[in-house]
Amino acid sequence: MPARRRIGIMGGTFDPIHHGHLVSASEVQSRFGLDEVIFVPTGQPWQKVGRVVSNAEDRYLMTVIATASNPVFSVSRIDIDRGSETYTVDTLREMRQMYPRDELLFITGADALEQILTWRNVEELFELAHFIGVTRPGYDLNDHHLPHGKVSLVEVTAMAISSTSCKQRVSRGEPVWYLVPDGVVRYIDKRKLYRGDS
Ligand SMILES: Nc1ncnc2c1ncn2[C@@H]1O[C@H](COP(=O)(O)OP(=O)(O)OP(=O)(O)O)[C@@H](O)[C@H]1O
Ligand SMILES: O=C(O)c1ccc[n+]([C@@H]2O[C@H](COP(=O)([O-])O)[C@@H](O)[C@H]2O)c1
């Protein structure tokens, strides 16, 4: 029987994916000895309603480009292909079916962890996966509000980067080199993304 694997899941809107996401995933992968980290771009992120979110295929392709060179990173389309609002409980139920014997660890930044009690079916989330909260500049990382033993907190190298700031820079004609992977800079340019954003 194959050994039980440890799989990290990094969910995000990735509009665009940036080095804050990649460094967090890489450091958690190393710290927890993960066999694989699966990036899962959201379909329709319901908590970002009212904000312009780029086409799912562009976000998916940027995530593929950004992760392609790392042999333990992969990208899943499950949230995009579900074709409805994205809830992590659905993501984790599907992952549990795909990997029935493996350990699942869901990686979130401090800002997302702060909001987790507002997520759909929050109690079930902690039954489906262990959660890893990572530090993020500007946010306080703590688990006071969360069930004991279900969450681990990890300090990662501080990367004061957000997708919002990347989009704003592109819209102002400023560079995003070294904030996002080179291939993502090229993709944003090729597809003329974010140019009209205010
Ligand atoms: N710089 C960062 N450091 C650590 N974690 C991060 C960082 N940026 C994003 N994350 C985490 O990555 C996940 C996906 O984030 P998301 O795709 O929404 O990017 P974002 O930069 O937060 O976007 P936005 O600016 O639109 O809010 C979330 O769990 C978020 O907390
Ligand atoms: O399940 C929910 O209700 C829920 C609400 C907000 C965010 N999430 C998940 O949190 C991850 C980061 O979300 P975001 O919006 O910061 O990109 C992503 O995987 C989302 O699907 C999940």
- 134-193 residue pLDDT tens: 999 999 999 999 999 999 999 999 999 999 999 999 999 999 999 999 999 999 999 999
Confidence class for position 47, pLDDT limits 50, 70, 90: confident
Residue among 60, 88, 82, 63 at smallest CA distance from 73: 63
Do 130 and 113 form a contact (C-beta atoms < 8 A)?
A: no
Q: What is the pLDDT of residue 124?
A: 97
Q: What is the pLDDT of residue 197?
A: 66
Which of 9, 14, 18, 21 has the most ligand 1 atoms within 8 A of CB, as the residue to mutate?
21
Instruction: Indicate the length of the chain as a whole number.
Output: 198
Residue whose entry in the numeric block shows the structure tokens 């279900």: 150
Q: What is the ipTM of this complex?
A: 0.99
Beta bridge partners of 131: 106, 151
Residue 48 has pLDDT above 80, yes or no: no
Which numbered ligand comes closest to the C-alpha of 159? 1
Which of 28, 111, 131, 194 has the most ligand 1 atoms within 8 A of CB, as the residue to mutate?
111
Residue 198 has pLDDT above 60, yes or no: no
- Nearest residue by C-alpha to atom 9 in ligand 2: 88
Q: Percent of the chain scored above 70 by pLDDT? A: 99
Do 16 and 184 form a contact (C-beta atoms < 8 A)?
A: yes
Which of 15, 17, 107, 119 has the most ligand 2 atoms within 8 A of CB, as the residue to mutate?
119
How far is the centre of ligand 2, averaged over its atoms, from the C-alpha of 93 (Å)? 15
DSSP 144: T
How far is the centre of ligand 2, averaged over its atoms, from the C-alpha of 45 (Å)? 6
Q: How far apart are CA 186 and CA 140, in angstroms?
A: 34
pTM across the whole model: 0.98
**CA distances (Å), origin 168, targets 23, 64, 65, 96, 136:** 21, 22, 21, 37, 19
Taking the CA of residue 15 as reference, the ligand 2 atom at the shortest distance is 17
Which backbone phi and psi does 138 adopt, to 5 degrees?
95, -5
CATH C-level class of 6-191:
alpha beta
